[in-house]
Amino acid sequence: MARAEAGIDAVRAGDRRALARAITLLESTRDEDRAAAEKLLRDAMPHSGGAIRLGISGAPGVGKSTFIEAFGNSAIARGERVAVLTIDPTSGVSGGSILGDKTRMASLAANPNAFIRPSPAGRALGGVARRTQEALLVCEAANYDLIIVETVGVGQSETLAAAMTDIFLLLLPPAGGDALQGIKRGIMELADIIVVNKNDGALAKQAALAASDIRHALGVMRPRIKNWRTPVLLASALENTGIGEVREQIDACRKLLESGGALQARRREQAREWLWNETREALLAELKKDPAVGEALEVLLRRVGDGELPASVAARELAAMFMRSAA
Ligand SMILES: Nc1nc2c(ncn2[C@@H]2O[C@H](COP(=O)(O)OP(=O)(O)OP(=O)(O)O)[C@@H](O)[C@H]2O)c(=O)[nH]1
Ligand SMILES: [Mg+2]
């Protein structure tokens, strides 16, 4: 019954509760929900693709929630509808960041033109990202104009967010020099736009210095988008300054992507990459269910763990065993 209400018609009509239920359905691990989830996604597909997909990342405490609130509210003031999705595999464990975000993004959360959805709980990073990617498509079917995919600035989640968004924005703290060295080069290279946050009060001077250090560091890196130069902007999420310029750059970046057909190419490439992800996961799930493999797996895991057998050899053995058993 609840499943029917999660259907695409209610979602497309702009019913936020139906959208929330639809995403819950996609996140469900129950076998009996699978068919409905697949139908929902298929129904959503023809209506997806219309939003700006923006990835936002930054280290804990840099001001992501505050920034997204200011940025989201300014988009809504322009007449847009905004969805915020997060990729944070730790959120389900501690529950901390969800609670924090609800209070920090209170005005955005309360706005009828915004939809905020925390990370799916109880999954590993890859699973979190795959569900977020599907939630994004359904949000597009629900006619959101701007979809923000937020990630915590640790490890691989940035790469996964970049793999589902058009433009990737990196928030950095007002600290240059050594602090900047700590930021992984790979993450800097992913960024299409860099924003130094907390450009206010006593921190403003440091923010300007940080921006110039970052520009310097960027000089040797190649932007991901042809003919684009990654801008380094200053903003204060707290005082709501510099947000308009960030938006201008996002619009300019999107325009550039659209003009050369790069947006389509990027999305096509991303969709293919997700196909491989899903295929890997689907095959792995089947393999783990296979009784013949199950027995051998224990032994192989132990032998690989004990350093008796190379992982590559064991993997090939498993694959061969699975194919014989499936034939
Ligand atoms: N001075 C100043 N403080 C800010 C600014 N933006 C955020 N802060 C403060 O920095 C702290 C962290 O802000 P959040 O928005 O919660 O940061 P976050 O990146 O979402 O943090 P996590 O969710 O914990 O990863 C809060 O105390 C904010 O008030 C800003 O532009 N200027
Ligand atoms: Mg936050």
* Domains of the chain, residue spans: 1-47, 49-260, 271-326
Task: Give Cβ neighbours of residue 271 (< 8 Å, ≥ 6 apart).
Answer: none
Q: Are 116 and 146 in contact (CB under 8 A)?
A: no
Class of domain 49-260: alpha beta
Closest ligand 1 atom to Cα of 152: 25
pLDDT in tens, 276-327: 989 998 899 899 888 888 888 999 999 999 999 999 999 999 999 999 987 8
Ligand lying nearest the CA atom of residue 234 = 1
Distance CA 23, CA 15 (A): 13
Instruction: Select from 322, 315, 274, 289 the least CA-distant residue to 127.
Output: 274
CA angle 71, 126, 60 (to 5 degrees): 40
pLDDT in tens, 31-84: 899 999 999 999 999 999 999 999 999 988 999 999 999 999 999 999 999 999
Q: Is the Cα dihedral 238, 116, 53, 97 positive or negative?
A: positive
Q: Looking at the predicted structure, is the pLDDT value of residue 23 above 60?
A: yes
Range 271-326 classified under CATH 3.10.400.10: no
The rounded mean pLDDT for the chain is: 89
Provide the pLDDT for residue 326.
79
Range 1-47 classified under CATH 1.10.287.1080: no
Q: Looking at the predicted structure, is the pLDDT value of residue 99 above 80?
A: no
- 27-39 core/surface letters (b: 16 or more CB in 10 A; e: else): bbeeeebeebbee
Confidence of residue 102 (pLDDT cuts 50, 70, 90): low
Check residues 198 and 185 and name the one with the higher pLDDT.
198
The CB of 242 under 6 Å from ligand 1? The reply is no
The CB of 238 under 6 Å from ligand 1? The reply is yes
Ligand lying nearest the CA atom of residue 241 = 1
The structure's pTM equals 0.90
